[in-house]
């Protein structure tokens, strides 16, 4: 299976063109990078790079991977950031049910401040009205 580190390695190797320099830019040893690429090639059943005396040259398979690699890495980075925000309570949604007095007295000042401080949290306000039976109805 292709992993994010493989995409980074393929992108660096293609851009730089030599295993030694690509490994150095990735803070890896040359044997580690070589083994990682060879294992990926074995897993995929294709050759990703033609080895030459001057370095490496990407194959058709590598070119196909490179078309999607930046977007995949960006999506993974975005997903990581979103999970961090969600886990810290800085993104998501909140549902607030309140009576008509509270909505006018307090919420008109509180909600704008909250929304300004936490723009990634969607706020849903519901005005609840007491009925003769003592229950509540959502009016929205």
What pLDDT sits at residue 31?
96
Residue ranges and CATH numbers for the domains of the chain are 4-86 (1.10.10.10), 92-138 (3.40.190.10)
Specify the pairing of strand 49-52 against strand 55-58: antiparallel
Specify the pairing of strand 121-130 against strand 92-98: parallel
- What confidence category does residue 114 fall into, taking pLDDT thresholds of 50, 70 and 90? confident
Each residue's pLDDT tens digit, 4-49: 999 999 999 999 999 999 999 999 999 999 999 999 999 999 999 9
- Assess whether pLDDT exceeds 60 at residue 136: no
Buried/exposed 79-97: b ≥16 CB within 10 Å, e otherwise: eeeeeeeeeeeebeeeeee
Q: What counts of helices (H) and strands (E) characterise the chain?
A: 6, 5
Each residue's pLDDT tens digit, 115-129: 888 888 888 878 777
Angstrom distance (rounded) from CA 11 to CA 60: 14
């Amino acid at each position: 299976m292709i992993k994010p580190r493989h995409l980074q390695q393929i992108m660096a190797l293609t851009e730089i063109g030599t295993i030694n320099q690509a490994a150095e830019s990735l803070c890896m040893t040359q044997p580690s990078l070589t083994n990682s690429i060879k294992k990926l090639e074995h897993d995929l059943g294709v050759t990703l790079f033609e080895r030459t005396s001057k370095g490496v040259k990407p194959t058709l398979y590598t070119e196909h991977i490179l078309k999607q690699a930046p977007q995949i890495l960006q999506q993974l980075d975005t997903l990581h950031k979103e999970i961090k925000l969600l886990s810290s309570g800085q993104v998501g949604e909140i549902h607030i049910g309140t009576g008509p007095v509270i909505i006018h007295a307090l919420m008109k000042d509180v909600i704008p401040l909250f929304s300004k401080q936490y723009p990634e949290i969607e706020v849903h306000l519901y005005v609840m009205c007491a009925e003769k039976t003592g229950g509540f109805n959502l009016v929205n």
